[in-house]
Amino acid sequence: MIGGTLAIIGGHLPDGRDGGVLVEAGRITATGAIAVPDGVRTIDAAGAVIAPGIVDLGVFAIDKTAFAAGGITRAALMPDQGPPLDDPALIQRAAAVGKPDVWIHPIAAATRGLGGTELAEIGLMQAAGAAAVATGRHWIADSGLMHRLLAYAAAMDLTVIVHSEDDRLVGRAVATSGETATRLGLPSAPAAAEAIAVARDLALVEETGARVHFRQVTTARGLELIRAAKRAGLPVTAGITPAHLLLSDIAITGFRTFARLSPPLRCEEDRQAALAAVADGTIDVIASGHDPQGPEDKRLPFADATPGMAGAGTLLTLALTLVRDRLVDMTRLFDLLAANPARILGVEGGTLTPGAPGDLILFDPETPWRIESETLAGAAGNTPFDGLPVQGRLSGIIKGGQPIG
């Protein structure tokens, strides 16, 4: 047997080619109709799709069981931890947690304690391994501080990841203003809170030239601002989760706390606009938004429940819905799930290009199963998709040329 070499054969690649992938010394060396050297360890993909491991941009918890179930081989960890990732030592510690099964790429807190009032030691955290800097779950209301952050990040060639809701307008709202929130009597805020935040930050991007990733853009008005900014050549990207693509605010009917998210679910018109933004390239990233919450945080009155969902274990299967609906093809899907997130973070992985790390997943896009919160892999099963029949299930993960599990 040739040491350190692995051949995966008998599968299909995202671009439609039949064949496999050859990995040598942890790196991809050939794809498609590969020549398999004698004595090489071989895995028969048995007709499965062989794709790059998913790079999940913006998780709130290190949850290796959920990552493995969802085909995630690299995860960018948001700074909203206890304590927040605002110190170089915390960045280094977070980066080491997932090895060897998954690479964790910590994202530095933009402000001390994520308080939004004083810049953190961003340069030191970048040197310690931070892949980007983020405002966390909240918008920085102080425009002067945000301007300094973007100017500083631009000088360091570091991407800034932002949350796009005007906190002063949102206040204590738990839903988007509209028929559903009114009928349920829930505190709500207008969807315009997103567009206001996006517009302010785009103006500062134009001023500073900083690279900014809008982690979740979920409204028609916000997406049109991103679309226009891209046409103008601004260095911006945008992401979204499957929840905001596949669910509208009707999902909170019955005060379903599993559907209490941040930002909240939007109206059907905004959901359709988000689907169109995926199709036309305005959306660059589909991420899990993985933020698992235990029953003590979800089995409460809707307004008191903690926002967030367990999304890592269902990211692949829900994203495959977009392929079945012919919104995107498989190649474009893995740009959204893997190549684009890796590019935005400036990390390796996310492609099947020769020379890339041998981080791969195998899956059957047609395998049927049902999402069940009680049996969902990971720290918690608080998914708004509880009970949903789906298709597409992971059958294997290769990390650095080594099968996992």
pLDDT digits over 81-136, tens only?
999 999 999 999 999 998 888 999 999 999 999 999 999 999 999 999 999 999 99
E strand residue ranges, 169-247: 175-176, 188-189, 212-214, 236-240
The whole-angstrom separation of Cα 311 and Cα 74 is 15
Map 125-162 to HEC letters.
HHHCCCCEEECCCCCCCCHHHHHHHHHHHHHCCCCEEE
DSSP label at 398?
E
Pairing mode of beta strands 389-399, 5-12: unpaired
**Structural tokens at position 15:** 């671009």
**Structural tokens at position 374:** 């009680």
pLDDT at 276 over 70: yes
Pairing mode of beta strands 236-240, 49-52: unpaired
**Structural tokens at position 340:** 């684009």
Give the rounded percent of residues in the chain with a pLDDT score beyond 90.
Answer: 95
pLDDT at 1: 36
CB atoms under 10 Å from CB of 206, counted, come to 14
In DSSP terms, which residues pair with 6 in a beta bridge? 23, 41
The model's pLDDT over 370-397, given as tens digits with 9 standing for 90+, comes to 999 999 999 888 999 999 999 999 999 9
pTM to 2 decimals? 0.96
**Structural tokens at position 367:** 């395998």
**Structural tokens at position 147:** 């301007």
Domains of the chain: 53-350 (3.20.20.140)
Task: Find the angle CA(330)-CA(386)-CA(252) to the nearest 5 degrees.
Answer: 105
Residue 2 pLDDT grade (very low, low, confident, very high; cuts 50, 70, 90): very low
**Structural tokens at position 337:** 């799930």
From residue 245, alpha-carbon distances to 184, 266, 367 in Å are 22, 10, 22
Report the length, in residues, of the chain. Answer: 405
